[in-house]
Structure 1
């Protein structure tokens, strides 16, 4: 099957599954709504913040506060895009139609990545503008140094989270197992490793910890991270590429 036909087929699969559409919609709503809420609360409590926190206050990061939960929906989207075919048994039909497994995987990843990128960018810009509106006099502007990079980076971060989840789902094939590993990893293990003094130097190289750096305009007080915003995103990209390569290797070896 030609590459164009593979892409068209994968696009049909994604848009015909209601759960993938709902998860992407949820990613937008949760990220924007929670970001607006936390921005409004921060604005009302700004004068009560310690001087040290006010000196390193980053309005851009504040408007992205909802992304912690929004990435949950992107993880679910990435897993469902891949594992739906395994759970329904449609993977046998798909691989019979596209016997070249590299072409099959590339088509699926390309379509899902493009969709996640579009949703991620809309989410990042909406969260920024609405969050800044809630911050009132403490807001920043898109034209200020580093802000546009951070907003675009927010969209790229959400996209990479989805693609990373796709790679894990290709490796594990089971939606429950994939989510059972990804959810605790991003919401528990990574946060613990990144905040405990003994493991902080290891945690900062995990995909989400490194990737979030792209959304920072001002460094936090006492931050000694050895890489910058683009370096952090680069580390996340390496994680994504590694997971996809392992997933592809396993896809070639295993039966459907």
Structure 2
């Protein structure tokens, strides 16, 4: 089967599964809604962050406050796209139809990545625009220095989260096991390692910690991170490449 046919086949699979629609819809809704809520709370009763916080107040980053929950939905999406066929047993018929496993894997990842990119970008821009509308006089605009980079970076960040999850799911071949590892990793392990003094230096190089820097416009107080926004996204991209390569190695070497 040619690559184009594999891509069409994978597109049919993705759009026909209800969980895909629900997880991607959840990514948009929770990211935008929570971002608007935090933006509204950030204005405070006095309508501002206060004189001491004014210099470090990052209205762009505030509008991305819901990105953590959006990241959760993108993680679920990436896992389900790859591992559902293993849990249902349909992977055998899929590999029988596409014996070249590299082509099969590439087609699946390409389709899911394209969809994640579209949804991620739409979510990032929607979260920013809605958040700024709520912030009122504290808002910033896409034309201000660093803002467009942060908004585009937010969409790329969500895409890379989904791709990393795809690679992990391809290696583990189980949705429950994959989510059982990725959820604690992103929401517990990474936060602990990134905030505990003894492990803070190493925690900065975890995929979500490094990649999340792309969404910052203004440096946080006391921030001494040794890389910039694009450098952090590059570190995250390396993690993604490693995860996808691991997934490819497992698919090539192990039976369905």
TM-score category by the smaller chain?
Answer: over 0.9
Structure 1 residue ranges without an equivalent (≥5): none
- Report the Cα offset of residue 53 of structure 1: 2.9
CA deviations on 1:49-100 (whole Å, 9 max, x unpaired) are: 5654321110000000000111100000000001110011010011111111
**Contact residue 165 and residue 182 of structure 1 kept, 8 A:** yes
**Contact residue 43 and residue 49 of structure 2 kept, 8 A:** no
How many residue pairs get matched? 256
Matched, 1:87 2:87: yes
What pairs up with 1:158-169 in 2 under 5 angstroms?
A: 158-169=158-169
State the secondary structure of the residue aligned to 1:178.
helix
State the secondary structure of the residue aligned to 2:255.
coil
Match of 1:16 in 2: 16
CA distance in structure 1 between the aligned counterparts of 2:141 and 2:240, rounded to whole angstroms: 31
CA distance in structure 1 between the aligned counterparts of 2:50 and 2:132, rounded to whole angstroms: 21
- Report the Cα offset of residue 44 of structure 1: 2.0
CA distance in structure 1 between the aligned counterparts of 2:39 and 2:46, rounded to whole angstroms: 10
Matched, 1:28 2:18: no
CA distance in structure 2 between the aligned counterparts of 1:173 and 1:240, rounded to whole angstroms: 17
CA distance in structure 1 between the aligned counterparts of 2:176 and 2:196, rounded to whole angstroms: 29
- Report the Cα offset of residue 178 of structure 1: 0.2
Task: Tell which deviates more after alignment, 39-48 or 241-250.
Answer: 39-48
**Contact residue 26 and residue 73 of structure 1 kept, 8 A:** yes
Structure 2 residue ranges without an equivalent (≥5): none
Match of 2:44 in 1: 44
CA distance in structure 2 between the aligned counterparts of 1:197 and 1:48, rounded to whole angstroms: 31
Match of 1:131 in 2: 131
CA distance in structure 2 between the aligned counterparts of 1:52 and 1:24, rounded to whole angstroms: 38
CA deviations on 1:8-39 (whole Å, 9 max, x unpaired) are: 00000000100111000000000000000000
State the secondary structure of the residue aligned to 1:218.
coil
- Report the Cα offset of residue 47 of structure 1: 6.3
Distance 1:217 1:43, change over 3 A: same
- Report the Cα offset of residue 43 of structure 1: 1.0
Match of 2:149 in 1: 149
State the secondary structure of the residue aligned to 2:42.
helix
Match of 2:98 in 1: 98
CA deviations on 1:110-145 (whole Å, 9 max, x unpaired) are: 000000000000000000000001111111011000
Match of 1:78 in 2: 78
CA distance in structure 2 between the aligned counterparts of 1:46 and 1:8, rounded to whole angstroms: 54
CA distance in structure 2 between the aligned counterparts of 1:45 and 1:162, rounded to whole angstroms: 38
Match of 2:115 in 1: 115
